[in-house]
Structure 1
């Protein structure tokens, strides 16, 4: 038996910002791509570092994106989806203001481009699994 609860927007964004990896979904024409990113949540927006390439090309063609993160545990799991508009941050003052709070990307290499996703909707769900009578803990053999 499972219990599912909707999360408040503030809690959803907090969880998304704590995830080691989030996923950015970009759609161009009939092609949908998904990219791992390390998200920072600041002022209700989702920020991430990236490098020039197909991700940025996709954002330039269609700024409407989705960012998703989740965590699955044995008893408690959560999932957060942010729909929004993405834009590359090019203003030097804006970059200098957010640079100190940006998380380092999980993937190595140079990531000099910063993208800001301004949410149009934020949804989050918390799932708690009740223990089942059939749950059995097996002892490891000696």
Structure 2
């Protein structure tokens, strides 16, 4: 069975993960405060092997202040293939004038017509990615080889 999976699922290198992340704009940020998990869709940009997004003041920013450990996930699919990348890392609000000015130069604009004054950078401690070849499910009830 594992041999059949070799050509269906492949592990991605960190470099491949960053390349795929750079080609997308929408991801999901997972935060945890105590026993409460939250997930937020965010539009983002890759900057020097980190993920940067903008946010308004609110629960997302408060939760990141309480616990900066996050997961960030992006995936993509077509009829023939799919991939998924997960970053386990830390989120930090950009606070210095120099950091904010540099972030202002990134090609990152809010998708919604709202003011988002805060930049957050997610730095990866570990990342994992897998690519998948899509296709129909094999016959589960066929005649078994004996």
> Is the TM-score greater than 0.5?
yes
Aligned to 1:138: none
Tell me the number of residue pairs that the alignment of Structure 1 and Structure 2 aligns.
134
Structure 2: distance between partners of 1:16 and 1:105: 18
Aligned to 2:133, which of 125, 128, 139? Answer: 128
Aligned to 1:114: 119
Aligned to 1:62: 67
- Checking the alignment, whether the CA contact within 8 Å between 1:21 and 1:106 is kept in structure 2 is no
- Checking the alignment, whether the CA contact within 8 Å between 1:20 and 1:106 is kept in structure 2 is no
Structure 2: distance between partners of 1:131 and 1:103: 38
Deviation at 1:48, TM superposition (A): 0.5
Aligned to 2:22: 17
Aligned to 1:78: 83
Deviation at 1:132, TM superposition (A): 6.8
The secondary structure found in structure 1 opposite 2:95 is coil
Structure 2: distance between partners of 1:115 and 1:70: 20
- Please tell me the root mean square deviation across aligned C-alpha atoms, in Å: 1.9
Is 1:97 aligned to 2:102, yes or no?
yes
Structure 1: distance between partners of 2:64 and 2:117: 16
- Checking the alignment, whether the CA contact within 8 Å between 1:37 and 1:105 is kept in structure 2 is no
**Displaced runs of 4 or more, over 3 A:** 130-134
102-111 vs 81-90, greater mean Cα deviation = 102-111
TM-score normalised over the length of structure 2 = 0.84
Q: CA, structure 1 residues 17+39, in 2 after alignment: closer, same or farther (shift >3 Å)?
A: farther
Q: Where does the alignment leave 5 or more consecutive residues of structure 2 unmatched?
A: 140-146
Structure 1: distance between partners of 2:23 and 2:111: 13
Structure whose CA Rg is larger = 2
Aligned to 1:140: none
Q: CA, structure 1 residues 133+115, in 2 after alignment: closer, same or farther (shift >3 Å)?
A: closer
